[in-house]
Amino acid sequence: MAEFKEISPNASTGAKLNNWLYNRFPTAYDAYKVHMSEYYAPKNFNYWYFFGSLALLVLVIQIVTGIFLVMHYKPDAAVAFASVEYIMRDVPWGWLIRYMHSTGASAFFIVVYLHMFKAMIYGSYRKPRELVWIFGCTIFLMLMAEAFFGYLLPWGQMSYWGAQVIVNLFSAVPFVGPDLALLIRGDYVVSDATLNRFFSFHVIAIPLVLIGLVVAHLFALHDVGSNNPDGVDIKAKDYPKDANGHSVDAVPFHPYYSVHDMVGVAVFLMVFSAIIFFAPELGGYFLEYNNFIPADPLVTPAHIAPVWYFTPFYSMLRATTEVMVNVFCIIVALAAVWAFFRSRLSFMGKVAAVVAALVAIVLLKTFDAKFWGVVIMGGAVVILFFLPWLDKSPVRSIRYRPGWHKAVYGVFVVFFLVLGYLGIQPPSPLGTLAAQVMTIYYFGFFLLMPWWSRLGAFKAVPDRITFAH
């Protein structure tokens, strides 16, 4: 047991209380020092670095509003929709809590998408921050699961039929698909059993996992140190240090960045409040109009689409037709030809590449397009985990990469947004063709990254981070 810290009898009441707490809970004070007052971060953070703290803020909003909603919500197919209406109409300030939660779901994905994009353009996933990125991608995956399970709870038309469509996708998995879909639903159709399962995962299981992953994400980040817009490692052994051993270009997180982040929080809360009070449905994107109709298993909506934050991946699912599978076969065959005649692989390596391509083509033609659509949709998220090992660029930050690299990233963002828009619209031949082209670009962006990320004339990276007040 550590020795008690003494304090003068003439000290103020506040100082005595602080000393009393310190002597009984020093671990909390040590954690505050490690992660706040004595955690040194690069002094050149810009507005892109708001989104990490904003994601934490939205997580707190979702947990707190969720607790109040659970007090009145009933996970029963017979009364679930009515209980939501009761919250909206009769519970004091219930409408505000519900709109904060529904708007918070979309806000969560907006700030997380922007936070991930920041990491991509500044190379925050590169060594030694691979584990930080992996924890972040796992958080994103769990967030998608959390949103999917919560989407069914209002028991509206789009909730019901959206869950029906997505769960039925699991039946496309060979051999175990039907049993897997039955296990997820708890019944042969989406029913009260499904609602209870989704409720338990949404309220208890996944939030606990999310909180644990967020803590692990922060611990891993603070162990290796934050990246910065220049991609220069201020913790490197040869980086200039001050008398205390800290980088000369670093400042304590508190109070510098805790106050800095308040600017982002203030702007975010103004926008967040404006949406809640003036446009909580946001034209049907945050809350679909069909979800204000009670779920009816006998009436199928004319067009079923998930919420906007799932639609880029849903577009990839819909784009995977038999024609698309044939295109994949051609791409694999061309890759095998290139590997055999143009690559620097050994002869046995070339033979192995051709054999692997033949196996891939056989598998592509063996299973139907619906199964490969599910694989593409899941693969679009899973491939993010491998980004630290796919990027072979000699520099981290986009600032010091060739100009055309920025264009590659720009097209990637535009295509991702267009895929999101197409996922909301009813399917059409032109929309399907566009989605197929953009899906190929999405995967090509990652799979070809070991090649294209090394090309071009790179700018010289400065020895120290660049900073201007």
Residue positions forming the annotated binding site for a ubiquinone: 222
Annotated binding-site ranges for heme b: 101, 115, 202, 217
Read off φ and ψ for residue 336, nearest 5 degrees: -65, -40
How far apart are alpha carbons 233 and 218 in whole angstroms? Answer: 18
For helices 177-185 and 192-200, the axis angle rounded to 10 degrees is 80
- 245 is written with which tokens? 């051993």
Spatial distance between the Cα atoms of 313 and 358, rounded to a whole number of angstroms: 27
Tokens for 290, please give them.
């069909």
In terms of DSSP bridges, do strands 250-252 and 40-42 run parallel, antiparallel, or are they unpaired? antiparallel
Distant-in-sequence, close-in-space partners of 404: CB < 8 Å, separation ≥ 6: 456
Which 8-state DSSP code applies to residue 25? -
72 touches 284 (CB < 8 A):
no
Known binding-site residue numbers: 101, 115, 202, 217, 222
Distance CA 1, CA 332 (A): 64
Could you tell me which of 132, 139, 129 has the C-alpha nearest to residue 231? 129
Contact 437, 325 (CB under 8 A): no
> In this structure, what are the phi and psi dihedrals at residue 12, rounded to the nearest 5 degrees?
-70, 165
Instruction: Spell out the long-range contacts of 259-264 with Cβ–Cβ below 8 A and sequence spacing 24 or more.
Output: 260/45, 261/50, 261/53, 261/54, 263/50, 264/47, 264/50, 264/51, 264/53, 264/54
